[in-house]
Amino acid sequence: MDYFSAMDISATGLDLERTRLDLIALNIANATTTNSNPNNVYRPLNVIASPKAASFETQLDGQLKQLPYSGVEITSIDYSRSEPRKVLSPGHPHADKDGFVFSPDINLTVEMLDLISARRGYEANLKVISAAKTMNERALEIGK
């Protein structure tokens, strides 16, 4: 348990929420892209996160009942398995021989909801950082 541990933990949270935001931006930006081959259509990306295990020393001190985690970590960034949308549009430059155009299966409502949750998560982590700052500042005044 060191001086900046809470801030380090919240920094991992900030990093995750920012990555989430980046991917949402990427998904929305690519929402209307098209392709004639369903395999080449943009696939929406998702971030997969899991609790980050604490360092080896902390786990070794397990009998002291320390915090077993040190924040959150991005396990992977993976594309969505959903099938691309197939729209009949024979005049489209990307239409295949049957006149179908493929576009990514991106639900703007879901992306916007994810955006709100990412933003709130980011704010919550910032709140914790400023609380940690206040506490550390007060601790420096011990004995004054």
Partner 1 sequence: MIELNPVTSSLVELALDAAKMRLDVTANNVANVNTPNFRAMDVSFESQLEMHRSAMLDKRNDSSNLAILNQTKPEVVTSVDDLGLDKEVLVDQQLMELSKTVLHYKALLEVNNKRGSLVRMAITGSTR
Q: Tell me, what amino acid is at 88? A: L
Residue 137 phi, psi (nearest 5): -60, -40
Q: How far is the CB of 59 from partner 1 (least distance, A)?
A: 12
Distance between CA atoms of residues 137 and 47, nearest Å: 35
- The reply on whether position 142 binds partner 1 by CB under 8 A is yes
Contact positions with partner 1 (CB under 8 A) in 72-91:
72
Q: How far is the CB of 86 from partner 1 (least distance, A)?
A: 31
DSSP bridge partners of 102: 35, 86
Alpha helix (H) ranges present in the chain?
Answer: 5-29, 56-60, 108-140
Site string for partner 1, 109-138 (x = CB under 8 A): --------xx-xx--xx-xx--xx-xx--x
Q: In this complex, which beta carbon is closest to partner 1, that of residue 25 or of residue 87? A: 25
DSSP states of 33-44 as a string?
--BSSGGGS---
Q: Where along the sequence are the contacts to partner 1 (CB under 8 A)?
A: 1, 5-7, 9-10, 12-13, 16-17, 20, 49-51, 64-72, 117-118, 120-121, 124-125, 127-128, 131-132, 134-135, 138-139, 141-144
